[in-house]
């Protein structure tokens, strides 16, 4: 399957596949006591980020990512479906993490847990059992992530288009940033596509609608946001309609906005 997303109907049909692993991507304490049947927790903030980095939710090392995957029983041949409790929010970040670690068989559940519950598909009380150690290996794909130095060079070269997934008022510098100490505004030359514009009722818009609202580009794409989470939502939206190379600026505005040496626009 070339699409980065699957429907709840597809997941329900394949739920008994022995190679299938369902992951609930969380950023904080799970908000509900139920989960999709046999789901496993994928703790982005505490287990699948570099917790030694002062920036939030940053990319872990391939070694640490592989160890964390092995602990929850993920193998090299695992087929992974990631969902979250909000519909679409944190699950695209988990999808991107697997992609950058070289794992191709990963998909986001369109609509997440709300869509699953709406169909009355099987759930269970939340569990955190131990799993047989997996054999997952990471094969890092450096082209899928960008640094502030690369973004700074891109301001001059304009080789890639930077897409900012934050709200318009934050992008335009019309409101204070939620994190203390960050300047307001955006990276010079970037465009604003708030991640909420590519979603409806917790699902991605149909491809034809995405084509209408997403500027078509001959350039490669770099996605940014506040801390690297919602950037991945815009990335998947573009993945649904474009074969251009795509990467995430992992430091995002948390890094750019606090560095007085980096230029901003409002």
Q: Which residues are catalytic, by number?
A: 225
Q: In what order do the strands lie in the sheet with 106-109?
A: 5-6, 106-109, 79-83, 20-26, 40-43
3-state secondary structure of 188: coil
* Under 8 Å between Cβ of 223 and 245: no
Q: Are strands 199-200 and 203-204 parallel, antiparallel or unpaired?
A: antiparallel
Distance (Å, whole) CA 224 – CA 163: 6
Q: Are strands 79-83 and 160-164 parallel, antiparallel or unpaired?
A: unpaired
Question: Which tokens belong to 85?
Answer: 């409790």
* Under 8 Å between Cβ of 81 and 6: yes
3-state secondary structure of 150: helix
Distance (Å, whole) CA 162 – CA 175: 21
Q: What are the Cα distances from residue 52, in Å, to 98, 160, 225, 241?
A: 20, 30, 21, 36
């Amino acid at each position: 399957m070339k699409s980065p997303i699957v429907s709840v109907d597809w997941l329900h049909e394949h739920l008994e596949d022995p190679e299938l692993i369902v992951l609930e991507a969380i950023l904080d304490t799970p908000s509900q006591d139920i989960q999709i049947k046999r789901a496993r927790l994928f703790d982005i903030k505490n287990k699948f980020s570099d917790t030694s980095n002062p920036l939030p939710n940053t990319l872990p090392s391939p070694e640490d990512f592989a160890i964390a995957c092995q602990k929850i029983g993920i193998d090299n041949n695992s087929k992974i479906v990631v969902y979250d409790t909000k519909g679409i929010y944190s699950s695209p970040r988990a999808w991107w993490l697997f992609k950058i670690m070289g794992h191709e068989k990963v998909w986001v559940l369109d609509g997440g847990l709300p869509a699953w519950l709406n169909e009355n598909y099987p759930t269970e009380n939340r569990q955190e059992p131990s799993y047989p150690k997996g054999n997952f290996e990471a094969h890092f794909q450096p082209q899928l992530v960008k640094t502030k130095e690369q973004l700074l060079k891109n301001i001059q070269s304009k080789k890639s288009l930077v897409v900012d997934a934050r709200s318009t008022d934050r992008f335009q510098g019309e409101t204070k940033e939620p994190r203390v100490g960050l300047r307001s505004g955006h990276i010079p030359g970037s465009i604003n596509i708030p991640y909420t514009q590519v979603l409806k009722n917790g699902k991605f818009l149909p491809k034809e609608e995405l084509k209408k609202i997403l500027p078509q580009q001959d350039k490669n794409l770099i996605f940014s946001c506040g801390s690297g989470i919602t950037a991945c939502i815009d990335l998947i939206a573009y993945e649904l309609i474009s074969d251009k190379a795509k990467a995430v600026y992992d430091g995002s505005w948390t890094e750019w906005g606090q560095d007085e040496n980096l230029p901003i626009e409002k």
